[in-house]
Amino acid sequence: MGFNVCLQRTSDGALAVYHDDDAWSETADYQWGEGNLSCDCNRRLYFARTRKEPEDWDADCSEGSYRVLWIKDDRGQFIPGWEEPVEERT
């Protein structure tokens, strides 16, 4: 079972739900929380790829341009620690 990561581009609120075929794991948790996927460098690429937009490989490293709204497994269950932020619920 894979998982889905909802990425939001904070500049305009646009969303992309990236699907990963691999099972959620401690490694994935680390990657998205603190590792390579915690800053904008890679989130930007995943976001563009998911939306089939051109990929920008030259942008500087930053944080906060892309944020994870939630991560769910393929059954639609939130991954613990990655639930939808309270302010996003309606």
Which residues here bind Zn ion, judged by CB under 5 A? 39, 41, 61
- CB closer to Zn ion, 44 vs 72: 44
Q: How far apart are CA 90 and CA 56, in angstroms?
A: 33
Count the Cβ atoms, other than its own, within 10 Å of residue 85: 12
- CB closer to Zn ion, 7 vs 41: 41
Q: How far apart are CA 83 and CA 67, in angstroms?
A: 13
- CB closer to Zn ion, 32 vs 72: 32
Nearest-approach distance from CB 74 to Zn ion, in angstroms: 28
